[in-house]
Amino acid sequence: MNKTVEIIGAPSTYGQRKLGVNLGPDVIRYAGIEERIKAIGLNVKDSGNITVPKIDLEKFNSEQKGLRNLEEIIETSNTLSDAVSNSIENNHFPLILGGDHSIAIGSISGVSKHYENLGIIWYDAHGDLNIPEESPSGNIHGMPLRVLAGEGDERLVNISNYSPKIKPENIVLIGMRDLDEGERRYIKEQDIKTYTMAEVDRFGIKQVIEDTIEYLQTKTDGIHLSLDVDALDPVETPGTGTRVLGGLTYRESHFALELLHNSKCITSMDLVEVNPLIDHNNDTAKQAVCLVGSFFGETLL
């Protein structure tokens, strides 16, 4: 990679109900992400954290009607979209550190401005394809992909004043093992390319990633990787808010990211849902940093 890696922190906890994920960008930094990337030989610019609304604990902990923390997420998404777009305009590789997965509304809105047919690799235990009327929780971190595809609350759909940002046929879901009924229906209706954990077991992570690259490279002009640490089994990454047993292993994930590095097709990346308040010794942030090392080309020899 000949681009500077620009780290942009998005310390938002508004997409879900557990405090602590807003600390994710800083604990990932503390675990050594900048030093790890520099050791590979790449240039790094840490642009710090975007400004997000201050947490009102009384409101945050209340039973809100409709979409939880909607105004805060709209503000955060617009701010992040601008920051990511500016990064790409400066010919940098944006590496966005969350925060919960609702931050992808902002990050991908900023990326998609620069591509005609942006591809998305959604490396996650969940589809995050809910719409408000079908969401069991009202938590927006379960909705970003559907919002980006142009469905959902109009104010979220029109972040950065355009919609849609992505096409369903340009999405690949990897690691799925917890989907709501509406998400399953939408995936089938739109024929979204999906690798559940059953497919990962059946084909192996090598074939899954190689097939994903082949599928997206033929139809897209850029590919964004959105990596939720809950894609890994909670034994590997305990410090995340929506843990689901039976996930990808640490080694599978390293190999997946090595393959993505070798493909030279990824143009931007999110790393989300690290929550140090429910972690052990910052292990999840450390694992995340190691995975990023593999993605940027770190090798043993």
Catalytic residue among 6, 72, 128, 233: 128
Q: Which of 127, 122, 159, 164 is nearest to 266 (CA)?
A: 122
Secondary structure element (H or E) that encloses residue 262, with its range:
helix 250-263
Q: Is residue 92 marked as binding?
A: no
Q: Strand order of the sheet with strand 118-123?
A: 44-49, 5-10, 93-98, 266-272, 222-228, 118-123, 171-176, 193-196
Separation CA 273–CA 201 (nearest Å): 24
Q: Is residue 228 marked as binding?
A: yes
Q: Is residue 280 marked as binding?
A: no
For the purposes of burial, counting CB atoms within 10 Å of the CB of 91, is it exposed (0-12), middle (13-18) or buried (19 or more)? exposed
Q: Is residue 126 marked as binding?
A: yes
Does 211 participate in catalysis according to the annotation?
no
Does 273 participate in catalysis according to the annotation?
yes
Does 228 participate in catalysis according to the annotation?
yes
Separation CA 284–CA 37 (nearest Å): 18
Catalytic residue among 72, 151, 230, 233: 230
Q: Is residue 191 marked as binding?
A: no
**DSSP labels for 233-257?**
-TTT--SSSS--SS-B-HHHHHHHH
Does 224 participate in catalysis according to the annotation?
no
**Residues 91, 198 contacting (CB under 8 angstroms):** no
Catalytic residue among 101, 224, 254, 261: 101
Compute the residue count for the chain: 301
What is the maximum alpha-carbon separation in the chain?
54
Does 26 participate in catalysis according to the annotation?
no
Catalytic residue among 92, 141, 224, 254: 141
Binding residues for Mn(2+): 101, 124, 126, 128, 228, 230
Write out the catalytic residue numbers.
101, 124, 126, 128, 141, 228, 230, 273
Binding site as annotated, residues: 101, 124, 126, 128, 228, 230
